[in-house]
Amino acid sequence: MTKPDQDRVVIFDTTLRDGEQSPGATMTHDEKLEIAAMLDEMGVDIIEAGFPIASEGDFRAVSEIAQNAVNSRICGLARANITDIDRCWEAVKHADLNRIHTFIGTSPLHRAIPNLTKDEMADKIHETVTHARNLCENVQWSPMDATRTEWDYLCRVVEIAIKAGASTINIPDTVGYTAPAESADLIKRLIEAVPGADEVIFATHCHNDLGMATANSLAAVAGGARQIECTINGLGERAGNTALEEVVMAMKVRNDIMPWNTGIDTTKLMAISRRVATVAGFPVQFNKAIVGKNAFAHESGIHQDGMLKNPENFEIMRPEDVGLSGTSLPLGKHSGRAALRDKLENLGFEVGDNQLKDIFVRFKELADRKKEVFDDDIVALMRLGEDGENDALQLVSMKVVCGTGGPAESTVEMEIDGKDVSATAQGDGPVDATFKAIRELHPNAARLQLYQVHAVTEGTDAQATVSVRLEEDGVIATGESANTDTVVASAKAYVHALNRLLVRRTKMGEGADAREISYKDMA
């Protein structure tokens, strides 16, 4: 592999692999394909599309993404064994540009998992990287938990991987342990100390356990790394990964002190951020850098006055740079399709004529209940329209009675497998009563892991977005919905989660559970 220009930083996106490993963030097959297409179009250099050995579903997703890729290199992850690597190659070989990414934990703690000595692990690294290189010309190797691996041993195994044919060496901060100065120094020392290091690309993969993933990744680039592994919205295990939008915009805005560039079309950041948040069921925090709701909002009087005089007083980047409309076009019940389409395009949504018709109907229904429809209302409408019309469980109607005189009561009518059924239940509040009525109609043992409500916009007529996460026998599913009635939004989100749980349990029955793999299989 030819090394990139020293000013060029390769963006390696692992939203579909490491990001999807967040509990509750599992995506459907079609959602993975959609996100991959958006990443490809946005200019991501390498898409880590999944873990092919994990399940038949993951294999099919990686394989189909590889077949559909236009610009990006498609990568699959494989543990350090021949079976994993062969399966990975079968999935990614369809791409014009492909990569095998193989890894093994090299720190003392991680070496103890497969119970390998240093020499045994070194032999395994040589064997598996060599095998991967014989299949694919582009191989990436990672010493998992590199930042807690002994220096001498880290140098040894990196040299082995380079000699075996790895063209990219990724140095993962798997548990978010390091700090920026250490991150830069580690990459710099490896490049200086390891024979052949100047002939390969060094990558950085940072987790956010101490809130330093973005800083650590940029510091690693300063130390000589030329590939950043990251995810949309920083999605990922535990506290998440380095956020793609943060490192890309940091290099763009502060190019004076970080003189590197990427191939990312930053005007597409907001659209893909919103889409990933929707399909993963992980709302973006309001004050999230770059893509948060408040990232370009100003409430302080001093700030507002400064913004009116010159936006540069309080904004270091333009909203348009990340895909937000710089102007506001208020929408209401008198607005037409053309205005709605224009607003959707400004918000980063591309819709066909038939989809626009469906959205327009929901928009008019909402506009009849609200004086003004805001941008965030439109985004919520897009989410609301994604509830599956062909799901086994459908909410038909509901009636709730509540007050201070006694328990709340909810009557719910549903269509289940084409049959209309209804039930009435009492509970500690309207949401509890509604959930109990739904459970009476569709008995289940799912445990409510998360129930989250936030207002999409301000005012008593604001839409509420509700997220519901359910867990049943180790299977996790998240549902989301929006409505001006919080109880209705809650019911729809709960039903949405139940439908996704049904789908995932069916896939598990087909052997598609991605969480069945273990480190023990590496030995």
Q: Which residue has the higher pLDDT, 377 or 47?
A: 47
**CATH code for the domain in which residue 148 is found:** 3.20.20.70
Q: Are residues 272 and 229 in the same domain?
A: yes
18 is in an annotated binding site: yes
Residue 484's pLDDT is: 82
Residue 505's pLDDT is: 72
Q: Which residue has the higher pLDDT, 379 or 480?
A: 480
Query: 520 lies in a domain?
Result: no
Residue 333's pLDDT is: 72
Residue 514's pLDDT is: 40
Instruction: Report, as an integer, the average pLDDT of 24-48.
Output: 93
Give dist(CA 255, CA 268) in Å, integer: 20
CA distances from 18 to 23, 224, 242, 385, 435 (A): 11, 24, 11, 28, 32
Examine the fold and report which residue of 362, 384, 406 is the final residue of a domain before the chain moves on: 384
Instruction: Report, as an integer, the average pLDDT of 66-90.
Output: 97
205 is in an annotated binding site: yes
- What is the domain range of residue 335? 301-384
Contacts by residues 396-404 (CB-CB < 8 Å, ≥ 24 positions apart): 396/420, 398/434, 398/437, 398/487, 398/488, 398/491, 400/430, 400/433, 400/434, 400/487, 402/429, 402/430, 402/433
Query: 505 lies in a domain?
Result: yes
Give dist(CA 376, CA 449) in Å, integer: 26
Q: How confident is the model at residue 69 (pLDDT cuts 50, 70, 90)?
A: very high
Q: How confident is the model at residue 312 (pLDDT cuts 50, 70, 90)?
A: low
> With 80 as the cut, is the pLDDT of residue 423 above it?
yes
Query: 38 lies in a domain?
Result: yes
Query: 285 lies in a domain?
Result: no
Neighbours of 510 (CB within 10 A): 10
Residue 510's pLDDT is: 52
- Domain count across the chain: 3
Residue 383's pLDDT is: 60
Q: Are residues 462 and 362 in the same domain?
A: no
Strand ranges of the sheet holding 447-455, from the earlier edge strand across to the other edge = 447-455, 464-472, 475-483
> With 90 as the cut, is the pLDDT of residue 304 above it?
no
Characterise 194 by phi-psi region: left (phi > 0), alpha (psi -120 to 50), beta (else): beta
Q: Are residues 204 and 270 in the same domain?
A: yes
Instruction: Report, as an integer, the average pLDDT of 406-418.
Output: 91
β partners of residue 470? 448, 477
Cβ contact 104:121 at 8 Å? yes
Neighbours of 426 (CB within 10 A): 15
Q: Are residues 111 and 129 in the same domain?
A: yes
What are the pLDDT digits (tens) for 224-262? 999 999 999 999 999 999 999 999 999 999 999 999 999
Give dist(CA 185, CA 212) in Å, integer: 16
Residue 390's pLDDT is: 59
207 is in an annotated binding site: yes
> With 60 as the cut, is the pLDDT of residue 503 above it?
yes
Rounded to 5 degrees, φ, ψ at 348 are 95, 10
Q: Are residues 377 and 398 in the same domain?
A: no
Cβ contact 29:36 at 8 Å? no
Residue 4's pLDDT is: 58
Residue 285's pLDDT is: 86
Query: 294 lies in a domain?
Result: no
> With 80 as the cut, is the pLDDT of residue 507 above it?
no
Give dist(CA 388, CA 394) in Å, integer: 9
Residue 75's pLDDT is: 98
Examine the fold and report which residue of 356, 384, 412 is the final residue of a domain before the chain moves on: 384
Q: List the one residue out of 130, 150, 129 whose CA is nearest residue 141.
A: 129
Q: Are residues 415 and 332 in the same domain?
A: no
Q: Are residues 349 and 416 in the same domain?
A: no
Residue 281's pLDDT is: 80
Q: Which residue has the higher pLDDT, 139 or 281?
A: 139
Q: Which residue has the higher pLDDT, 386 or 184?
A: 184
Instruction: Report, as an integer, the average pLDDT of 156-161.
Output: 98
Q: Are residues 51 and 199 in the same domain?
A: yes
Residue 523's pLDDT is: 36
β partners of residue 207? 241
pTM (global) more than 0.75: yes
Residue 407 CA neighbour count, 13 Å, CB half? 11
Q: Are residues 372 and 424 in the same domain?
A: no
Q: Which residue has the higher pLDDT, 125 or 502?
A: 125
Residue 512's pLDDT is: 44
> With 80 as the cut, is the pLDDT of residue 458 above it?
no
**CATH code for the domain in which residue 466 is found:** 3.30.160.270
Query: 515 lies in a domain?
Result: no
Percent of the chain with pLDDT over 70: 87
Instruction: Report, as an integer, the average pLDDT of 375-386.
Output: 67
CA distances from 3 to 9, 10, 63, 171, 226 (A): 11, 10, 26, 17, 9
Q: Which residue has the higher pLDDT, 413 or 294?
A: 413
CA distances from 5 to 196, 261, 282 (A): 18, 10, 36
Give the best-scoring range by mean pLDDT among 172-181, 284-293, 379-388: 172-181
Q: Which residue has the higher pLDDT, 42 or 461?
A: 42
Residue 283: Cβ-neighbour burial (10 angstroms; 0-12, 13-18, 19+): middle
What are the pLDDT digits (tens) for 278-298? 888 888 888 899 988 777 765
Residue 286's pLDDT is: 82
Residue 249's pLDDT is: 96
Examine the fold and report which residue of 384, 405, 422 is the final residue of a domain before the chain moves on: 384
Query: 85 lies in a domain?
Result: yes
Q: Which residue has the higher pLDDT, 483 or 172?
A: 172
Q: Are residues 146 and 194 in the same domain?
A: yes
Query: 262 lies in a domain?
Result: yes
Residue 311's pLDDT is: 65
Q: Are residues 197 and 338 in the same domain?
A: no
Q: Are residues 223 and 265 in the same domain?
A: yes
Give the best-scoring range by mean pLDDT among 52-66, 272-286, 345-359, 458-472: 52-66
Residue with tokens 């938990």: 145
Q: What average pLDDT does the structure give for the chain?
A: 87
Residue 138's pLDDT is: 98
Residue 478's pLDDT is: 83
Q: Which residue has the higher pLDDT, 172 or 523?
A: 172
